[in-house]
Structure 1
Amino acid sequence: MASEKPIVLHLGDPVEFNKELYAQIANAFTVIRPSLEERQRNEFLKALQEKRWGDFQAIFRPFWNSGGEMGRWDAELIRLLPSSLKVYASAGAGYDWMDVDILAEHDVVYCNGAQASSEAVADMAVFHIISVFRNMQWSMDGARSGDPKLWLEAHQNTAATAHNPCTQVLGIIGLGNIGYTIARKAYACFGMKIYYHDLYRKSSEQEKAVGASFCESLDDLLAAADCVVLATPFGGSKLITRENLSKFKRGAKFVNIARGALVDEIALVDALKSGQLSAAGLDVHEHEPNVNKELARMRNVTLTAHTAGGAAETQIGFERLSMENIQRVLTGQEPLTPVNKHLLKE
């Protein structure tokens, strides 16, 4: 397939929101959108082997819920990509379905959409923070039960173990776009003390803006925090393990708006039963869409259905960022939201 313009693969549904930007992309580049049938893994691999779409230079996936029908982007798939490919830009904050390190070995930068979801995910984190401190799940269950006895039980007893978030220590694991937005909201809304652990420390100005203190080690953060929020990408292994749960301050709370695979939920259940943790709020789940049945029965555990980023503004932003990253890379500019740039050979 010959083309004078750079070829861009558009994976998934047609764009819905940023149609003017899409028109610019379509005018500047040759856009090819493989059919649903072509996106099934076997057919997709076959198409790559045949070079059906030529030497394309970019891939974008504007929605998190379509365009990924070929499954995991692993070594088997990535080795079939043309050497001309420069950038893959996708909706969504997480990229546990993409081996970004292997992509980097092929000199391809991967860009995600976390920047577009930061506000929505941080808002959900704040909801869970309030819930775990104020026993909201117990209160909501009592109110919805239709049973006056359960209503009174919640009404009369939740206060004994409820606390105001104000002045409490919030420990954030991962202070990227989402983690920093959580810190900003928790500091501004409640005056919480912010501790964080990350591979990269923020500047003193950024720390000062949210009253944040850097913890050199994860153990230091876990020992100090009254509530730990997990806001880091999935790195291939569990982070909240039985061993790490034992290092939490006894009676602390835990919130996960990152990835369910980061948490050993069996160990989490045991920590909640023993009182090592007093409450948990989970938007993501280890085996989703299957939710741990023991966690679902606990009145000190708030559960949501992986909807933290589920706002209209997020969807619009995901779509826009995926195209803007493509546009910038193919015109010789720096990508807006690179994930694996530090791993590229150059």
Structure 2
Amino acid sequence: MRALRFTDWKTKPTLQDVDRPTPGPGEVLLKVAGAGACHSDVAAYDDFEAATAPKGMTPPFTLGHETSGWAEELGEGVTGIALGEAFLVYGPIGCGRCVPCSKGQDTYCERVAEMPYLATGLGRDGGMAEYVTVPARNLVPLGDADPVAAAPLADAALTPYHAISLALPVLAKGGSTALVIGLGGLGQIAVQILTALTGATVYVTDRKQDAVDRAVARGAIAIDASGDQAAQLREATGGTGVDAVFDLVGATPTIQLGQAVLARGGRLSVVGIAGGEVSWSFFTNPYEAVITNTYWGSIADLHEVVAMYQRGQIVPDVERFSLEDAPEAYRRLEEGTLDARAVIVPHAG
């Protein structure tokens, strides 16, 4: 079968012929419906090298940590899954024995240093292929929902959903406000989640006007990125600041913006991994305001994300590519010329 492989550090992924995998005990072979292309993949093959990469991401492996597909073959011991049934894949794979893993929080596995890989598509062969094997535990049923468009939900929706769910207590009041910084795939879905789950007024900012326009069409209020954004937000909130800030970029300037507009008792969630660094002071941080970070989400979160997708509360913006065109999708992702999440469809047509 064909697969898009990350073969070495500082090397672009290439299409290769590989053997079709066989599901082991407790695993399911999926016929891949769709696999989303994510900036994390670009970081893996462009930014890291052996000395700096997270453990468990050593090449070679097949990319694709946002994956959906149909059950094709069941491994030993797997029951309760019908062949042909559509699923979304929960990517992270922990030890399955520690406290976080027992809660479905594989992203925070206490034995991550002992694991041979981080996730399906991050160290373990992922969904940028015709077929992929996945632990049965990591499959979330999609029902009749379109599995191709669902693929990005495994990261681009799960990640902001987890951050937003943790911030719900500060948004559960009349007149609450939220700010989404960065309106790529995650940011667009964050706006939809906030609109569906809260009554908050949602402000957004991004330097791409088309992205801002899409968020505004979804009910958000734009902040002019070319002006003094902090002053605009302070004025818009009557000087009190924003209750919940979601930074989907994570660069120093974006985190600083979040700090500058955070309300007392508010929550700044840094979700993007641009590696920004900022300072904190008792005298400048609003009283009882929390600055934190989150990473991906839990299996339970993904079930809830799928429920929102099935009800039409989340509609990902996707652009479909054939498997042969996957390198082109990543080229456009690197250039920033995609207007939607690229989804590789191995069995298109």
Q: How would you bin the TM-score normalised by the shorter chain?
A: 0.3 to 0.5
Say which structure is richer in strand.
2
TM-score by length of 2: 0.43
* Greater C-alpha Rg: 1
Structure having the higher helix fraction is 1
